[in-house]
């Protein structure tokens, strides 16, 4: 039975069962709403005003950046056409909500309130405002389960934004740590470097921030350095997430094992 699941023979069964369990998950989610509204009620007026102020500043800042972004995007498209490059980066996104249920604490998964009725597919990337969160692993009719990038069985193909060094960010199971194995000791990588998706696994669209390097330790006795990173996405405290449909990323039916294998081939050569 367990073995069956490993090769994904039982996906339809799981999808049907998620339909049965979904109402229960919704009820649990709803029952937490009063708790949240109570905490809102008690947050003081000054704190709210402060929040409004910071949000307003950020909004202005982002608007200014967006103006530049529009011109840059147009320029980028024009240059790409000059180069006859066909890589299309247009994306369709949809906001999904994380249902407030706690799953098995060791598998680092979340339930979202969109399923196959909203064209969600297995392997679909999940983002939040700050970066990559994970990918969808099981799709039910109205809900789906997503694996976070910090899950021990998840590997994200990344590259260093500064110099394009490719790497794999493996989940550790700890809520705020990613490991980068197979980084040679003499590689140009520093604390504070931003890791973005490289798009090599064919699963995540390229160029989304994933993590910031938090620790680099050279181990002269080992072939590879110890490199740790902190995810930029707010993996624990967020409710709204973005589902992304990219035209260049085709829905592939094989599950998470496929990703791990695909990324395994992209190890940087020392």
Partner 1 sequence: MMPTHPYSWLIIITTFVVALAVTLFPVPVMLDPLRPDWVALVLIYWIIALPHRVGVGTAWLAGIFQDAATGTLLGQQAMGLAVVAYLVLLLHQRIRNYPVWQQAIIVMIFIALFRVIGAWVLGVIGRPADFSYWLPAVTSMLAWPLVFLLLRHIRRRYHVV
Q: Does 13 bind partner 1 (CB under 8 A)?
A: yes
CB of 120 or CB of 160, closer to partner 1 = 120
State in angstroms the smallest separation of the CB of 130 from partner 1.
19
Q: Does 33 bind partner 1 (CB under 8 A)?
A: no
CB of 170 or CB of 216, closer to partner 1 = 170
- Among 77, 80, 91, 109, indicate the residue that binds partner 1 (CB under 8 A): 109
Query: Residue 214 — left, alpha, or beta (φ > 0 → left; ψ -120 to 50 → alpha)?
Result: alpha
The set of residues, in sequence order, having a beta carbon less than 8 Å from that of 255 and lying 6+ positions away, is 8, 122, 123, 137
Q: Does 12 bind partner 1 (CB under 8 A)?
A: no
CB of 1 or CB of 82, closer to partner 1 = 1
The two structure tokens encoding residue 112: 């979202």
Residue 64's φ and ψ, nearest 5 degrees, are -60, -40
CB of 42 or CB of 106, closer to partner 1 = 106
Q: Does 28 bind partner 1 (CB under 8 A)?
A: yes
CB of 246 or CB of 259, closer to partner 1 = 259
Angle, helix 11-31 to helix 33-42, in steps of 10 degrees: 40
CB of 175 or CB of 207, closer to partner 1 = 175
State in angstroms the smallest separation of the CB of 56 from partner 1.
30
64-to-75, 76, 160 alpha-carbon distances in Å: 17, 19, 26
CB of 123 or CB of 205, closer to partner 1 = 123
Q: Does 2 bind partner 1 (CB under 8 A)?
A: yes
CB-count burial class (<10 Å; 0-12, 13-18, 19+) for 142: middle
Residues 140-179 that bind partner 1 (CB under 8 A): 145, 152-153, 173, 175
- Among 12, 71, 104, 265, indicate the residue that binds partner 1 (CB under 8 A): 104
Q: Round to whole Å and give the CA distance between 92 and 97.
A: 17
* Of 249, 26, 23, residue with least CA distance to 136: 249
Q: Does 100 bind partner 1 (CB under 8 A)?
A: yes
Which listed range, 66-74, 102-110, 197-205, 221-229, lies at the site for partner 1 (CB under 8 A)? 102-110
Q: Does 94 bind partner 1 (CB under 8 A)?
A: no
Q: Does 30 bind partner 1 (CB under 8 A)?
A: no
A 10 A CB-CB count for 268 gives 15
Residues 227-266 that bind partner 1 (CB under 8 A): 236
- The three-state secondary structure class of 250 is coil
Residue 193's φ and ψ, nearest 5 degrees, are -65, 145
The set of residues, in sequence order, having a beta carbon less than 8 Å from that of 171 and lying 6+ positions away, is 108, 148, 149, 150, 151, 152, 153, 154, 155, 178, 179
Query: Which chain residues interact with partner 1 by CB under 8 A?
Result: 1-2, 4-6, 10, 13-14, 17-18, 20-21, 24-25, 27-28, 31-32, 100-107, 109, 111, 138, 145, 152-153, 173, 175, 236
């Amino acid at each position: 039975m367990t073995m069956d699941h490993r090769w994904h023979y039982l996906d339809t069964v799981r999808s049907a069962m998620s339909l049965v369990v979904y109402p229960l998950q919704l009820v649990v989610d709803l029952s937490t709403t009063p708790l949240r509204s109570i905490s809102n009620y008690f947050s003081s007026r000054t704190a709210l005003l402060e929040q409004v102020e910071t949000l307003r500043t950020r909004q202005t800042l982002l608007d200014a950046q967006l103006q530049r972004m529009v011109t840059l995007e147009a320029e980028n498209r024009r240059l790409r056409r000059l180069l006859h490059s066909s890589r299309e980066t247009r994306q369709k996104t949809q906001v999904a909500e994380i249902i407030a249920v706690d799953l098995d604490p060791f598998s680092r998964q979340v339930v979202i309130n969109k399923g196959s009725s909203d064209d969600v597919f297995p392997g679909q990337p999940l983002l939040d405002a700050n970066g990559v969160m994970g990918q969808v692993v099981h799709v039910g009719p109205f809900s789906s389960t997503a694996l976070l990038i910090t899950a021990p069985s998840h590997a994200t193909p990344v590259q260093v934004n500064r110099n394009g060094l490719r790497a794999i960010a493996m989940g550790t199971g700890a809520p705020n740590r990613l490991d980068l194995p197979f980084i040679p000791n003499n590689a140009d990588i520093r604390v504070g470097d931003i890791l973005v998706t490289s798009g090599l696994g064919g699963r995540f669209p390229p160029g989304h921030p994933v993590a910031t390097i938090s620790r680099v330790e050279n181990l002269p006795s080992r072939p590879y350095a110890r490199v740790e990173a902190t995810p930029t996405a707010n993996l624990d405290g967020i409710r709204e997430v973005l589902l992304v449909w990219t035209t260049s990323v085709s829905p592939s039916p094989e599950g998470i094992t496929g990703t791990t294998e695909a990324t395994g081939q992209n190890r940087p050569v020392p």
